Amino acid sequence: MTAQLQAIGRALIFPAIAIILAFAVGAVVIVATGNNVIAAYGALLSGGFGSFQSLGRTIGNATPLIFTGLAVAVPFRAGLFNIGGEGQLFIGAIAGVAVGLLLPGPGPLVIIAAIVAAGLGGWLWGAIPGLLKVFGAHEVITTIMLNFVAINLAYWLARNPLAGEGLVPGTNFVPDPVRILRLSSGLGAAHYGFVLGIVAAIVAYLLIWRTTKGYEIRAVGLAPGAARYAGMSVAANGFLAIALGGMFAGFGGGLEALGTFGKVSVPFVSNLGFNGIGVALLGRNHPAGVVVGALFFGGLAAGAQQMQFATGVPLDLSDVLLAIVLLFVTATKLVELLIGRRARSLEAGTKLEGGLAG
Amino acid sequence: MTDHETGAGATTTGGAAPVLSMEGITKAFGDNVANDHIDLDLRRGEVHGLLGENGAGKSTLMKILYGLYRADSGRILLDGEPANIHNPNDAVSAGIGMVHQHFMLVPTLTVAENVVLGAEPSRGVLLDHDQAQRAVTELSDRYGLKVDPKARVGDLSVGLQQRVEVLKALYRDARILVLDEPTAVLTPQETEDLFEVLRGFVDQGLSIILITHKLGELLGVSDRITVIRDGKVVDTVQAADTDERQLATLMVGREVVLQVERSPAEPGDIRLDARGLEVLGVTGAPAVRGIDLQVRSGEILAVAGVDGNGQVELAEALAGIRPVAAGTVHVDGRDVTGLSAGARSDHGVAYIPEDRGGKGLVSEFTLAENFVLKRYDQAPYATRGWLRGSEISRYALERIKAFDVRPANEQATAASLSGGNQQKAIVARELDGDPAVLIANQPTRGVDVGAIEFIHRQLLAQRDRGAAILMISLELDEIHQLADRIVVMFGGRIMGEVAAEGATDEQLGLWMAGRDGENEQ
């Protein structure tokens, strides 16, 4: 248990440092643009977490990001980079809405069917690069390419077979009983998809760390040579992991469509899948880290609106902050340099160059 | 601790400041002090051996000298003057040349091109090939290196490639040459040739630091030997005044058994039988070209040879990790040619791979997780797809205790263990269940003397129990100590076989170089 606590501590130190450093750099930007740092960050904080409404916005923003973050984190454990969360999310959204619109029956059952369809759609969309990988196509290329296919396929479906009557292009709204319920009226648009996101993170954790399948996935990701030697299939586990990742993104898309919007409009959302990569990086590809990272991303987006409104610091600063955070999170060497040897000793054994035979 | 240094050695020039002094060098990685106030001085025209076990701090010290690491404290003096070496460029300008264990050569370029790479003589914007070749020929002649500057590096033997690395350092006017485990990749004859070349260097005024963990060869070539243990200098001794036993004791810190006692082999039935084996390497080129070998119960068959002659592919094909292109493998009379690694393991084939970190262990996994690498999905370690952490821990602790793996903490990551303890963990895992056949590829590669002794005892115990053991080793010492029979591999074929008693290094060395002793080409 203590080893696990230590692991959590190790997992958190870099993101925490990265965030602090990013805010320090952001402060310089705020001052340079002639604004008051304390007022700006105060507004950012209260806009993200200061009231029930802002908390609701944060949770609402974070919900799809938990899923797209898991879509990156789970395949990463098998050593694969899933850049296809965006497309998998679109497939999930359109699949969920299609079932929500077309399947007759009592609301709760239709909701369940729609969510399952969303997950299944995402699974299939993740399975394609998983399968192609077995034949040698690199998953980064295929997942990126399949994003374009997925987004355009979803838009075509939303504008043609599933087109609605409204002025805004896209599908009709799903019937009210098929909408995901809101958490509480005080929390604005935040819906029960957030709870499902937490559940998904827990499931992902249990799968990866408590099952034999997860053991295989981790072994394959960390040391393919050792995994092969122990009789595991690198290809099959990679396929499973990336399909699972697609499933998570699909759930995220379905819940976003059925919860937040009630439909797939054209255009629908943008960058939720890609921001999932950032969320997973910030969360160090751990399900718990993904939830925290998603809340951070969501809170920053929510707070930035308040900050712009209250102080005139442009909305774009939140993007700048996110960019710097990711820069620091990924540039561990740079952070090591800035905070010195402490971090290096924490990382010793994983990141330190090997090769010093003596 | 350096009281042996007062008398200058026969080939060194006493009086003048040492060409290199490292004083009080300290370097820590986290809590691990790799170098603890190390003092080392190198006299002009001497070969100075740097001896220590893996992890003792030799390479760290040399990386500091070469500017790859910064020392936490201490200083470096060149000819008595403090030197600031912040990066390898500084080291090169100061006349320090390093020949790494792993060569840094471009195989598609010629010798001359490789040598001048990064410091090319130019004619306008073009490389001056003639000038480069002249310079390399001149150097090569002066130091007796006998390398053709026009040859493509990829076509050269490993021994010659090593000379190209040496030439690179000489071309950059190295006065101090550091060689890191240079003999690891050489046949016994090539080793002798190299040492002859090194003696020639010191006669011309160069100074050499020779890093190794092999005791015997250091005595032959060094003037003085500095022994490092746990990051500290234990002693600096005159090579002429010491012997292997004393060096081993200094290196390990206790009396060492250099030769594990063994009883005569009592070979029984054939347990491992490979016929007409052909295996492709990673590039798709044939790596094993038709090998027949049989290993009997109760014997150790050693496969000698220079690294990269198909040994890895042979081991992996026998273990079931690499498919065979042709031929059959039988274990206890049963055809296992088509079986996977997992299935062969169930038939009693155990395998100690040559690459601990990449194949034998998942470095980031805990020890507990690593101990069940081949049985994580079997009861009692898993039920219905769920891992049972407590059972896994219990089993791991039991094996850890039985094989004295340190630290005795099953939750420590494999990466945090020393090489010797990692290897003991692998051996502990593979020997559980008393395998019928054990394939051990370099079972003691890069581990400390204590662990070598332990692993050798375990291998002999398995042999005496009746296992058939195929041991691949690059170290002739190890082969002489353990083998009952020896075969030598070269270019994917077996060059010859000899009973362990009658084997001489000369004969083995000729086979290792691909020459048939009887029909000299």
Closest partner residue to A212 (CB to CB) among B30, B353, B387 is B387
Per-residue pLDDT tens over the stretch A148-202 = 999 999 999 999 999 998 888 999 999 999 999 999 888 888 999 999 999 999 9
| Structural contact between residues B484 and B265, judged by C-beta atoms closer than 8 angstroms | yes
| DSSP characters over B412-456 | SBGGGS-HHHHHHHHHHHHHTT--SEEEEESTTTT--HHHHHHHH
Is residue B60's pLDDT more than 50?
A: yes
What pLDDT sits at residue B167? 93
pLDDT over 90 at B216, yes or no: no
pLDDT at residue number B497: 95
Say what the pTM is.
Answer: 0.80
Residue B277 has what pLDDT?
Answer: 96
Query: Which one of B38, B214, B373, B383 makes the best mutation probe of the A interface by having the most chain A beta carbons within 10 Å?
Result: B373
Minimal Cα–Cα distance from A77 to chain B, Å? 12
Is B501 an interface residue toward A (CB < 8 Å)?
A: no
Distance from CA of A2 to the nearest CA of B (A): 9
Please give the residue that has the higher pLDDT: either B25 or B57.
B25
pLDDT of residue A341 exceeding 50, the answer is: no
Is residue A24 domain-resident? no
Please state the rounded mean pLDDT for residues B245-251.
88
pLDDT tens, residue by residue, B71-105:
999 999 999 999 989 999 999 999 999 998 888 89
pLDDT at A337: 67
pLDDT score of A221: 94
For A281, the 3-state DSSP assignment is: helix
Q: How far is A217 from chain B (nearest CA, A)?
A: 12
| Per-residue pLDDT, B164 | 93
Q: What is the pLDDT of residue B215?
A: 80
A127 within a domain of the structure (yes/no): yes
Contact A3 B366 (CB under 8 A): yes
Number of domains in chain A: 1
Dump pLDDT digits (tens) for B392-431: 999 999 999 999 898 889 999 998 888 888 999 999 999 9
In this prediction, residue B52 carries a pLDDT of 87
Count CB-CB contacts under 10 A for residue A20: 13
Euclidean distance between the first and the last CA atom of chain A, given in angstroms as a whole number: 33
Q: Which domain holds residue A113?
A: 66-298
Q: Which residue has the higher pLDDT, B450 or A65?
A: A65
A81, pLDDT greater than 80: yes
pLDDT at A358 over 50: no
For the segment B309-320, what is each residue's pLDDT rounded down to a tens digit? Answer: 999 999 999 999
Using CA atoms, how far residue A197 sits from A204, A262, A299, B205, in Å, is 10, 18, 16, 71
Interchain CB distance below 8 Å, A357 and B345: no
Q: What is the mean pLDDT of chain B?
A: 89
Judge whether A351 lies within some domain: no
A140 within some domain: yes
Give the distance from residue A348's alpha carbon to the nearest chain B alpha carbon, in angstroms.
7
**Residue numbers in A near B359 (CB within 8 A):** 223, 225-226, 229
Contacts of B343 in chain A (CB under 8 A): 231
Interface of A with B in 163-222 (CB under 8 A): 210-216, 218-219, 222
ipTM: 0.83
* pLDDT at residue number B2: 41
| Residue A336 pLDDT level (bands cut at 50, 70, 90) | low
CB atoms within 10 A of CB B338: 11
The pLDDT value given to residue B258: 66
Lowest mean pLDDT of A258-267, A313-322, B18-27, B145-154, name the range.
Answer: A313-322
Q: How many Å lie between the alpha carbon of B351 and the closest alpha carbon of chain A? A: 9
Q: Do B29 and A350 touch (CB under 8 A)?
A: no
Q: Which amino acid is at B26?
A: T
Tell me which of A243 and B407 has the higher pLDDT: A243
Chain B residues closer than 8 Å to A352 by CB: 29
Residue A35 belongs to some domain of the structure: no
Alpha-carbon span B357 to A222, nearest angstrom: 10
- The Cα of B123 is separated from the nearest Cα of chain A by a number of Å equal to 38
pLDDT band of residue B1 (cuts 50, 70, 90) is very low
Using the Cβ of B282 and the Cβ atoms of chain A, whether some distance falls under 8 Å is answered with: no
- What per-residue confidence (pLDDT) applies to A340? 55
Of A213, A229, A355, the CB nearest to B353: A229
Q: Is residue A91 part of a domain?
A: yes
**For B115-266, where are the E strands, in sequence order?**
122-123, 126-127, 176-180, 207-212, 224-229, 232-238
Subunit contact A345:B31, Cβ cutoff 8 A: yes
**Residue A325, in any domain of the structure:** no
Residue A236 resides in a domain: yes
Q: How far apart are CA A109 and CA A103, in angstroms?
A: 10
Q: What's the pLDDT at B8?
A: 40
What are the φ/ψ torsions at residue B21 (nearest 5 degrees)?
A: -130, 130
CA–CA gap between residue B44 and residue B124 (Å, rounded): 38
pLDDT for B461-504, tens place per residue?
999 999 999 999 988 889 999 999 999 999 999 999 999 988 89
